[in-house]
Amino acid sequence: MDGLIWAGAAISLLGLIGLVWSIIKVARARRADLSDEDLRNAVRAVMPLNLGALFLSVIGLMIVIVGIFLG
């Protein structure tokens, strides 16, 4: 079950990296002094990455919990 825990931790880490990446992309867009509409479009473009990364983090943590329960 150790492999399950480590695999879940790796998946969760990938999700965390994706979340940080989406935060960086939005922060860059905000610093670029874009118009209101352009900023909204930039945030809309980052939303799928943000949601996918959040999904990976949640799934990874769920796998870790399952590995702990089974181990």
What is the rounded distance in angstroms from the CA atom of residue 43 to the CA atom of residue 40?
Answer: 5
User: What pLDDT is stored for residue 3 in this prediction?
Assistant: 94
Task: Write out pLDDT tens, residues 7-49.
Answer: 999 999 999 999 999 999 999 999 998 999 999 999 999 999 9
Eight-class DSSP state of 71: -
pLDDT band at 69 (very low <50, low <70, confident <90, very high): very high
HSE-CB at 40 with a 13 A cutoff on CA atoms is: 3
What is the rounded distance in angstroms from the CA atom of residue 31 to the CA atom of residue 63?
Answer: 37
User: What pLDDT is stored for residue 1 in this prediction?
Assistant: 84
pLDDT band at 65 (very low <50, low <70, confident <90, very high): very high
User: What pLDDT is stored for residue 49 in this prediction?
Assistant: 96
Domain boundaries, the chain: 2-70
